[in-house]
Structure 1
Amino acid sequence: MMKKQFVAGWLVMFGLSTGLYAEPASVSVVEKIVDVQHQLFSGPRPGLRSNHTKGIVVVGEFTPSETAKNISEASHLQTESSPAVVRFSNATGFPDIADNDPRGMAKGIAIRLDLGDEEYHDLVFSSVPMFPVSTPELFLEMLTAVSQSGPDVASPKPIETFLEAHPSAKRFVQHPKPFPKSFASLSYHGVNAFRFINAQGDAVYGRYILSPVEGEQHLDAETGKQQHADYLVNELPQRLQQNAVLMRLSVQLAGPDDEVNDATVIWPEDRPVVELGLLKLEAMHEDAAAFERATMFNPLALPDGIEISDDPVLRVRPAAYAISFSHRMN
């Protein structure tokens, strides 16, 4: 048990908030990724997610801005509003992890927009603006190194060796992961790029950003450590009883020389950011447990006007989600 907790500590620092998915040639790699995650998090657990297991579900609506039409002809960026279901979560596959546990500080958010006619669009973000590695194979190598780096293993442990050999993973570990005041007071990032096409056929690559309209709000380290284990999942319902929460969905546009197929690369801050609209969180989901059990978010559930990039991590994410979903339903 001690080894599993130690290993999970490494995992959370990597922000396993994104999970993965794969094309046919990579299915065996993705299956191994899911198996290692189960090993590290003492899973699988029937009815529960393999990763980002502890979460909270709210409902609301998304309303596009006028500038959104300049970026994409996607239907949810043209209509007045779209119903939304939003799930906030902690990293790791431990269902009872404390909201202020350092292992779970890479927070996640998944959004399902109802496009009508039984169609939907899913968006999956992380509070960390990058992924630690650029390919599924490297992700499996990283997870395997974590699993082999128990407290009794002498240094340099396999994960320490991996970090030194892969600077992007080391940058991820070192990236600040502050204690949020609320799930809704953090900014979230789509670490993978998509291709956006407007009605005139103009195409640009971009990455999503979701930010609180009132600005980010964090707790200092000492205050964060003193919070209740469920302080975030308790805070959000109380907040919504008082007022709706507004979050701004934007897209950062890639420059002509920016890397669009590598999720470890953060683009320069001077790249233009275009507002796509407002996400309004209004109430708690009335049957969150049933929704969570039955729902698999798929970042490649894309409407016309948004296309996948060649990022290998993005391309394998649905397969990992699907494998995890099958374990959840057993």
Structure 2
Amino acid sequence: MKSRSRASAPRCMPCRLAAIGAAVVALAGTFAYAAGWLTPSRLTTYRIVDQFQANNGPHPGYRRNHAKGLCVEGYFNSNGNAASVSRAQVFAPGRTAIIGRFAIPGGNPSAADASVPVRSFALLFKQRDGEQWRTAMNSTPVFAVRTPEQFYQQLVAAQPDPQTGKPDPAKLKAFYAANPATRPFQEWVKTHPASSRLANATYYSINAFRFIDAGGHEHAVRWSVEPDMPYAPVDPQEKNDPDFLSKQLGEQLQRGSVRWHLIVTLANASDPTNDATLQWPADRQRIDAGTIVIERTSGQADGACRDVNFDPTVLPDGIKPSDDPLLAARSAAYAVSYQRRTREEALHGAPATRQP
């Protein structure tokens, strides 16, 4: 039996190599399919990120969206109230260190703060058990579209005309007319002027998620962070400074920390979890889970948030994604953007930033 076994080994070696080769080819085929090389007409993450670059121009070393930003650090002080709906350690009473990033939408790192009506706030909660919760929020409670395909179409419609350097109004109008689901977002932006500061805006998860409690029961939720500082709209004079938001935050932090309450909203059974264009009714149960405290800020070129990919699907035990199709698309797009900018940094060095 021993001699037979030794004799069979060489004969099986080609089989093993063939099997390994087949696995490598299959894996390569998977990547090729995901990249769209085998199906060029299919929408892929790469096409979405490429369209961001086409709309905003080349800015090596920067995020493809939310390129202009500012790093912040602080902590989350949980009061324990949300522990009844999620077993995530972040909701147990006590402090959790956080790294964050404020930003404005768009791929131009030199854009004026007043050029867009939306602010963004991303957070990474560093749990004591080593797990992380990452979230990327906007200052609007709804998103403009509900599917990745609609998002890509919106980007294409918004691509600047080479002659004017601005989007073609007719193309945008046609897109909005063909996609009535965008109306809640448009109406919200029209009736809610942009905040005068980063610290007096409310930020929303927009997408739904699922919390899992200690008993294994799931709860559909969205969350928001609501500021202690009263909201005020932008003063027209402030718009003259292209970096007024980051400067104001720096001045505030010299006088002390800035704070928000983390509010968890629980859905009813009839509330949609797969459509980010729709708000849930205002009478849904709300849980004040604790206080987010920002203590210091730093430039994004060398700050704590520089190397963080704020992928909203990086979640600890006790939180998981919902069936919202935008979540997987966001995660994939963030990964491609991260890969490109970090490769550019490795080749050419980190980009400079003019922000304080």
| TM-score, normalising length: structure 1 | 0.85
- Give 1:127's aligned residue: 139
- Correspondent of 1:36 among 40, 48, 51: 51
Matched, 1:250 2:281: no
Provide the rounded CA distance (Å) in 2 between the counterparts of 1:146 and 1:298: 24
Q: Give the match for residue 197 of structure 2.
A: 182
Residue 133 of structure 2 contacts residue 316 of structure 2 at CA under 8 Å; is this kept in 1? yes
Aligned identity (percent) is 32
Contact 1:164–1:170 (Cα < 8 Å) also in 2: no
Whether contact under 8 Å (1:47, 1:293) holds in the other structure is no
Q: 1:82 to 1:277 in 2, by over 3 A?
A: same
Corresponding position: 1:241 with 2:254: yes
User: What is the identity, as a one-letter code, of the residue corresponding to 2:134?
Assistant: D
Tell me how far 1:268 sits from its aligned partner.
1.1
Pair 1:164-2:202 in alignment:
no
What is the RMSD computed on CA atoms of the aligned residues? 2.5
Deviation of 1:134 after TM superposition, in Å, equals: 1.1
1:1-330 correspondence to structure 2 within 5 Å? 28=36, 29-43=44-58, 45-101=59-115, 104-116=116-128, 118-147=130-159, 157-176=170-189, 177-220=192-235, 222-225=236-239, 227-285=240-298, 289-329=302-342, 330=344
Distance in 1 (alpha carbons) for counterparts of 2:291 and 2:33? 38
Answer yes or no: is the 8 Å Cα contact 1:185–1:218 preserved in 2: no
- Deviation (angstroms), 1:155: 8.2
- CA shift, 1:94, in A, is 0.9
Residue identity in the other structure for 1:31: Y
**Secondary structure of 1:295's match?**
coil
> Looking at CA atoms only, which structure, 1 or 2, has the larger radius of gyration?
2
| 2:69/2:300 contact within 8 Å kept | no
Worse-matched range after superposition: 152-161 or 293-302: 152-161
What is the CA distance between 1:273 and its match in structure 2? 1.2
Distance 1:24 1:169 in 2: 33
Deviations 1:50-106, CA, capped at 9 Å, x for gaps: 1111111111000112311112110111151111111111111111111112xx221
Cα distance in 2 for partners of 1:131, 1:25 equals 28
Is the alpha carbon distance of 1:313 and 1:214 closer, same or farther for their aligned partners in structure 2, counting shifts above 3 Å? Answer: same
Q: CA separation in 1, counterparts of 2:326 and 2:34?
A: 11
* Contact 1:299 1:318 (C-alpha < 8 Å) held by counterparts: yes
List structure 1 runs of 4+ shifted beyond 4 angstroms: 23-28, 148-156
SS state at 1:294 partner: coil
| TM-score, scaled to structure 2 | 0.79
- Greater RCO structure (CA 8 Å; 6+ sep): 1
Mind listing any 5+ residue stretches in structure 1 that lack a counterpart?
1-22
Using the TM superposition, give the Cα deviation of residue 121 of structure 1 relative to its aligned residue in structure 2, in angstroms.
1.2
CA–CA distance in 1 between the matches of 2:200 and 2:262?
Answer: 14
Question: Is the 2:227–2:261 Cα contact (8 Å) retained in structure 1?
Answer: yes
- CA distance in structure 2 between the partners assigned to 1:155 and 1:246 by the alignment: 40
Give 5+ residue unaligned stretches, structure 2.
1-30, 37-43, 345-356
